[in-house]
Structure formats: C-alpha cells, structure tokens
Amino acid sequence: MARSVIFIIAIFLSFCALSCIAQQQPCATYKFLNNKHFSSCSDLPVLSSSLHWNYHPLSNRVDVAFRHTGVTDRRWIAWAVNPTSEGMIGSQAIVSFQRTDGSLAVYTSPITSYGTRLEQGNLSFPVSDLSATNQNNEMIIYASLELHGNISTVNHLWQAGPMSENTPMMHSVGPSSPNVKSIGSLDFLSGRVKATRSSSATLKNVHGILNTVSWGILMPIGAVIARYLKRFESADPLWFYLHVSCQMLAYILGGLSGFGTGIVLGRRSPGMEHSFHKIIGIVLFCLATTQVFGGLVRPDKDSKYRPFFNWFHFLAGCSTLILSIFNIYKGFDLLQAANFWRLAYSGIILTLLLVTLLLEICTRWCLPITKRSIPNTTDKNTSTVIEVATMEV
C-alpha cells in the first residue's frame, strides 16, 4: 500500500514538472512558426521572456527576436537597448501591442523620461525589418539593429505592462515586482547575459527604510515619551534625554537623509511626479526643522511668551506625527510594498497607541487616587503624633 502511494505521488510530481517545462520551453529548443532561425538565445530571468539573435560582427548588425509568453490579456511589450547607461532613461525601445480593433502595432520609441507613454519616434541607430506576431498566448517582436561603433556588449531592458484603449500605461514599480528587475547587460558575440539591478530601485528602498524608521517609528516613540514626561511631571533627566535623542535621530534620518534621498530620486525620475507625497514630505521637513531649532530659543518658564511657545510646540508636534504616519502609508502604496510591511508597521503604531492609552488611564485615574491617599495618611500620622505628645504632657 505504501509503495502504491509513493508511486502515485511520484507520477503526480513528474506530471507537474513536465507541465512546467512545457509552459516554460527553453529558448534553445523553441521553433519559430515563420521558419526564422537564430544561432544564439537567452532565457531572461523575469517576465517570462527570452531573446534570440544573430550577430554579424563585420557589419555590426544584430537580428533579434524578443519573445514574451503567457499572454492572456491585452498588454504591451517592449525590448530596448541603452547605449549610454544602465537605466531606463536614454534607452532605445521597440514596442508592440494589440490595438482595440485587433490589429498589431509595432514601432520604435526613444525613452526620455519615467513618465513616458511609449510614444513613437526614431531611435539613435537604424532599425529595419520591424515586425511582430501575437498568437498561441505569446508575443514576438522581430527587428534588425545596426549598432554604432565596433561594440558587441550592450545594456538592455525588457518590459510588459497594461493598456488603456490604445495607450500603453505604467508598469508595476514595486520593489518586489519583476518589472524593476528586467535589466542587464548582453554580449551578442559570446552570448553572455548578466542581470543587474537598477540603482534607482535600490535608492527607493533606502528612502523608504530611512523615512519609515525615522518619521514612522522614532517620531511616535518620542511623542509617547513626551506624553509621559508631561503627565507624570517627571524630572528624571534620563527620560528627557531619551525624548530628545529620539527626536534628533528622527530628524537626522528622516529630515536630512530621507529628505535628501527623496530629492535625488526626484532628479533621477523626470516626468514621474508624486506631488501629494512630495508636498507632505516638504511640510514634514519644515515642521521638524522648526521643532528642532525652536528649542534653542525656548523662553524661560517665567516668561510671558512660554505658554505660546508650548502651544506651538504641541501643535507642530501633533501635525508632524499625523502627517508622518499618513505619508508612510502613502509611500507603501507608491512602492507597492507587500502586505507584510503594512501589517508590521500597523502593529508598531497600534502598540504605541496602546501604551499611550495606558499612560492616560494611569495619569487620569490611578495617579490622582494615589495622590489623594498620601495626604490622608499624612494627616493620620500627624494626628497620632499630636495625641502621643498630649498624653506625655
């Protein structure tokens, strides 16, 4: 009986493996329906794509076929060469998609900004024999490129994204999305393909981590400590220095480093605007700067301006706290972060809210009762001393 079960499981696993192999057929065994033949190919690491080519060193011409499989909806695909850098800006793309009337569009498009809609235009090098097919749940782009200079290694990118009518729309930009990993270098002569990671994607992650830790965690912790100092009227310097340390560290990480990486990302991403997120970030930086340097001109306790300063400090702190938490969630949406990160951050915020609630309960109900019981005990002790003194007299 056990052997039969093991045999059935083995057959099932073999069937699954064969199915996966059939769905992801290696490029070396693929046969083109139009009898085209390519001497070299590479299965690209993401987006269910492969690239086939014939390289002619004497003329520096490359015949390519970019193949994208698993097409079950209307989408656009693109393959590009970037002669100047590794990123998206400056890449020379070949685009194809199915129009709403069923016809197939295929054209060239130079990428000049992150906000591109893949408009048609001439590339920086000649392209000929441009065509495309869309059948059997796969799209293929054919083209011949005449590269400038005696080079065989190029930076290349490939993409796929949704459509709106006959207009290509933005592909996914989340840090875990395969669309941000579809970049690499390609040597047409040796056939060596090397995957690389976009520096902008790494910088986005650094920007998100810095701001989440600073504005999203350290700032609320500092606010809870400040509430403790206010409610318990504590004069313990340890808690005061801890509060100041949290606020200063949040300002350095978020206000300086996080804000700085945001500026760099903005300069690297012309045409890609997240205005609401950016405006909130600028407001947060201004409020935090006012809070930090405002402490240097804080009036004395006996000054008539001290109450106004306290109200300003309180309102600015509350505004910073609310805006920072809101902007962290906005950043999660822009990065298309996994639900795990949202849930983890929500758990931290809920924990801090619970601590704040417990402090409020202790200071509003428990502490007043304790204070009232201390005078009563003192009065009783005083009465006892008086009675004893009287008896002695």
pLDDT of residue 208: 80
Higher pLDDT, 389 or 278: 278
Tens digits of residue pLDDT in 196-240 = 555 566 777 788 888 888 888 888 887 777 777 666 555 566 767
The DSSP result for 80-106, as a single string, is: EEESS-SSSTT-EEEEEEE-TTS-EEE
Please report which confidence band the pLDDT of residue 393 belongs to, taking 50, 70 and 90 as the band edges. Answer: very low
pLDDT of residue 79: 93
Q: Can you tell me the distance from the alpha carbon of 355 to that of 388, in angstroms, rounded to the nearest whole number?
A: 47
Please report which confidence band the pLDDT of residue 130 belongs to, taking 50, 70 and 90 as the band edges. Answer: very high
Q: Confirm or deny that 171 is annotated as ligand binding.
A: no
Higher pLDDT, 205 or 319: 319
pLDDT of residue 170: 83
Please report which confidence band the pLDDT of residue 12 belongs to, taking 50, 70 and 90 as the band edges. Answer: very low
Task: Report the pLDDT averaged over residues 153-168.
Answer: 89
Task: Report the pLDDT averaged over residues 384-393.
Answer: 38
Sign of CA dihedral 106, 110, 114, 115: negative
Helix (H) or strand (E) holding 43: strand 40-43
Q: Confirm or deny that 313 is annotated as ligand binding.
A: yes
CB 280 within 8 A of CB 333: no
Q: Is the pLDDT of residue 139 over 90?
A: yes
Q: Is the pLDDT of residue 69 over 80?
A: yes
- Average pLDDT of the chain is 77
Does this model's pTM top 0.85? My answer is no
Q: Confirm or deny that 37 is annotated as ligand binding.
A: no
Task: Report the pLDDT averaged over residues 79-91.
Answer: 83
Structure token digits, residue 300: 């004395």
Higher pLDDT, 108 or 290: 108
Tens digits of residue pLDDT in 343-358 = 888 898 898 888 888 8
Q: Confirm or deny that 243 is annotated as ligand binding.
A: yes
Phi, psi of 377 (to 5 degrees): -65, -40
